[in-house]
Chain A
Amino acid sequence: MSKALCRTVVVSNPQGLHARPADLLVRMANQFESVIQIGRGGEMVDCKSILSLLTLGAALGTELTLSAEGNDAETAIESIEQFFQRGFDEADDTQSAPARAGSDEVRETDPTSPA
């Protein structure tokens, strides 16, 4: 069985994980066959379900745990992590610089070890 990859990502756009980024996130997740989950406080939801993503209610600054399990898990988790770091590409209006909340907080962990 393949091992699940796990990372912590931070919501870095001002408006949080609202409908449009959630839609894009689901589309991105759907490009991979891996099972991708995201959540916080031990409550993980399907990253391919927009309604589940929205009900996370993740606002700016929320730390989320991201996990991917499957053949393409590595690419999947990379892409999604970068998408979080780019503030869901919501730069059209004002901020075009990628949010700072990224790399130093991202760590790779083994899901079997206590967080």
Chain B
Amino acid sequence: MVELQGIPVSPGVAIGPALVLDAAGYRIPRSLLAADEVDAEFARLRDAVDRVSNRLESNRLETSAVAGEHTGDIFAAQLQMLHDPRLQAELRRRIQEEHQSAAYAVSRVLHNYAEALRKLDNPLLADRAEDVLDIEKQLLFCLGAVSESRLLDLDEAVIILSHVLTPSETANLDRRYVRGFCTETGGPGGHTAIVAKGLELPAVVGIGNFLDQVGNRIKVIVDGDRGRVILDPDAETLASYKKRLKARRSLTAKLSELRDLPAETIDGTPLRLSANIEFPHETTTCLERGADGIGLYRTEFLYLSSAEEPSEEDHYQAYSQVVREMDGRPVVIRTLDLGADKMGHRPLAEHEHNPFLGLRSIRLSLRNLDLFRPQLRAILRAAVHGDIRVMFPLITTLAEFRQARMLLNVVAEDLEESGTPHRSNIPVGMMVEVPAAVMMLDRFVEEVDFLSIGTNDLAQYTLAVDRSNEYVADLYQSSDPAVLRLIARCVEVAKEHDRPLSICGEMSSNPARALLLMGMGVRHLSVPPSSLLRVKKAIRSVSIGQCEQMAQRVMQLEAARDVDLYLLDRLGEYVPELIVT
């Protein structure tokens, strides 16, 4: 049994057999050979090399016949790579001397070459890395180590173990079979984490190097509550986790009874409780759990989860579906928040040294109007079907907000002129995610219809921590007193100017932090569907006075850790049912 500690990003417990993916998503058994298996393994490699060689040769002949000798030469070069004496010597050494399995040796050696080619400052050669990886894939296929499609051919429940999972890979996980995942990299506020939460997949990220300790199929427990991953658990541990899994299920059943009850404190202070979604189909869960509306619809996932760039019609269909299903409840659409760790189909910004300080989000939208315009048109068109509101992300300066709003007006005029059905009198808000916007908020409130604080980015930019950087991810805490002070300032300004304010970051999904925000005067939270009932349960268990007391006490603390410990303590006192052990 091995216990690993990482960062919990999506709650819950999952138990199942491991499916280990390498960086490119192939399965590589990282097994070592017994001494008497070495010769047979090397023979297997020789056989695989011969088969791939034959295939490349016939590719070369066919392609030359169809497209000319020059094009066919691509395969000649691949053949040359396959038979490269250095490559073959290294494979032989790894198998015969280090007793590595052929598949593992192939994967490591070819990846190293591909990596070396990628690093060259020469695009033509960097592209050859693909050829090298293609050879790897074919060899692994012949060795029976991979199936041609990676995550698409699952036929049993698994836990995914990987160096990294991108948001789109996570979004495309087959939920029928994938029970949870853990990755070596990643941080608490990354978008993979958000997607995992949306899919309600227990997940632990930022574990550091551990994949070389794992073989496929060994039993794994993912503890998404405490950030723990247990490999090959002993009977006692397994039994205790199975018990927890059962306890969680019964808690879920109990919470579902709260569905139609209002989110209000014991003494009747109401809270608007909305949901954050990435995909239209999530509205079903939101309604099942009694959400008051959609407080944050993250539209960029339309980009990240489809093979092609979405058209205006795709946007329109998605938004219409959401607003129709929410049946009169407000739906706040956030415009594209691409860039940094969320890239779409075309390279919108290349080689940024600090992508989180770079061309992302509203900045990227304003520079790529061919991307932005169809979305704005779709939003206004879908608004005829219900209560749609729009907000712009990462607004830093007044000029940015004005520019975005003006573009919305222009788009509305276009729709008007062409006689396309639409509705343009929708509320226009901004996300407060940059300290600069907080400092200038008294000016912003004169122009915006509503405010929504994105605590993930606000924490990242306040604390100068790249939340996806595993080296500093532990410094990223949305409960840091500095962040709390900025939030307090926003609440104050919003109140003064009578502007609706909500909090839609991950912060509000934590029941204890939700109570704190309530105590700070926030009356509208938007949380992932998975947290709706837990937050509601917490709110319904306290008085507003207790929340305010918590807030007063917390504002005297100095560190995120102290804040969280104190909050956890109070939660245990007021809502012990929610503390899952």
Contacts and interface: CB of A to CB of B under 8 A. Distances in A.
B128 A19 contact: yes
B554 to A, nearest CB: 55
A51 B113 contact: yes
B176 interface: no
Contact of A19 (B87, B120, B121, B131): B131
A52 B86 contact: yes
A50 B117 contact: no
Contact of A23 (B73, B124, B125): B73
B369 interface: no
The CB with the most chain B CB atoms within 10 A, among A15, A19, A57, is that of A19
Interface string A79-114: 000000000000010000000000000000000000
Contact of A54 (B73, B76, B121, B128): B128
B77 interface: yes
B81 interface: yes
B117 to A, nearest CB: 6
B84 interface: yes
Interface in A37-81: 45-46, 48-52, 54-55, 57, 59
B76 A51 contact: no
B479 to A, nearest CB: 47
Contacts of A92: 70
B439 interface: no
Contact of B122 (A16, A48, A50): A16
Contacts of A23: 73, 76-77, 80
B239 interface: no
Contacts of A55: 113, 116-117, 120
A15 B77 CA distance: 16
A26 interface: yes
Contacts of A16: 122, 124-125
Nearest to A48: B85
Contacts of A49: 84-87
A51 B112 CA distance: 11
A45 B131 CA distance: 21
A50 B77 contact: yes
A9 interface: no
A22 interface: yes
Contacts of B124: 15-16, 18
A56 to B, nearest CB: 9
B15 to A, nearest CB: 43
B86 to A, nearest CB: 4
- Indicate the size class of the contact surface on chain B: 20 to 34
A55 B84 CA distance: 13
Interface residues of A, number: 21
B441 interface: no
A37 B200 CA distance: 56
B112 to A, nearest CB: 10
B120 A57 contact: yes
A112 B410 CA distance: 75
A55 to B, nearest CB: 5
Contacts of B76: 20, 23
Interface centre among B76, B117, B122 (most CB of A within 10 A): B122
B79 to A, nearest CB: 8
B520 interface: no
Given A26-B80, A50-B80, A51-B81, A57 B121 contact: yes
A93 to B, nearest CB: 10
Nearest to A17: B125
Nearest to A52: B86
Nearest to B129: A54
A50 B81 contact: yes
A33 to B, nearest CB: 14
Given A19-B77, A20-B73, A26-B80, A54 B125 contact: yes
A48 B116 CA distance: 18
Contacts of A26: 80
Contacts of A19: 74, 77, 125, 128, 131
B492 to A, nearest CB: 57
B132 interface: yes
A52 B172 CA distance: 37
Contacts of A50: 77, 80-81, 84
B122 A59 contact: yes
Contacts of B84: 49-52
Interface string B175-212: 00000000000000000000000000000000000000
Max chain A C-beta neighbours (<10 A), residue from B80, B84, B113, B131 = B80
Residue among B73, B86, B113, B132 with max Cβ neighbours from chain A (10 Å):
B86
Contacts of B87: 49, 51
B86 A51 contact: yes
Interface in B65-89: 70, 73-74, 76-77, 80-81, 84-87
Interface string B118-142: 0011101100100110000000000
Nearest to A93: B70
Nearest to A22: B77
A13 B24 CA distance: 33
A19 B131 CA distance: 10
Nearest to B76: A23
B203 to A, nearest CB: 37
Contacts of B116: 55
A50 B125 CA distance: 12
B579 to A, nearest CB: 55
> Considering residues A27, A52, A57, which has the most beta carbons from chain B within 10 angstroms of its beta carbon?
A57
Contact of A46 (B86, B113, B117, B125): B86
A34 B410 CA distance: 73
Given A16-B124, A18-B125, A57-B121, A51 B77 contact: no
18 contacts: A16-B125, A19-B131, A20-B76, A20-B77, A26-B80, A27-B80, A46-B85, A46-B86, A49-B84, A49-B86, A49-B87, A50-B81, A51-B81, A54-B117, A54-B125, A55-B116, A55-B117, A57-B121
Given A16-B122, A19-B77, A55-B120, 20 more contacts: A15-B124, A18-B124, A19-B128, A20-B73, A20-B76, A23-B73, A23-B80, A27-B80, A49-B84, A49-B85, A50-B77, A50-B81, A50-B84, A51-B81, A52-B84, A52-B86, A54-B125, A55-B113, A55-B116, A57-B120
Top-4 shortest CB links A-B: A57-B120, A19-B77, A49-B86, A23-B77
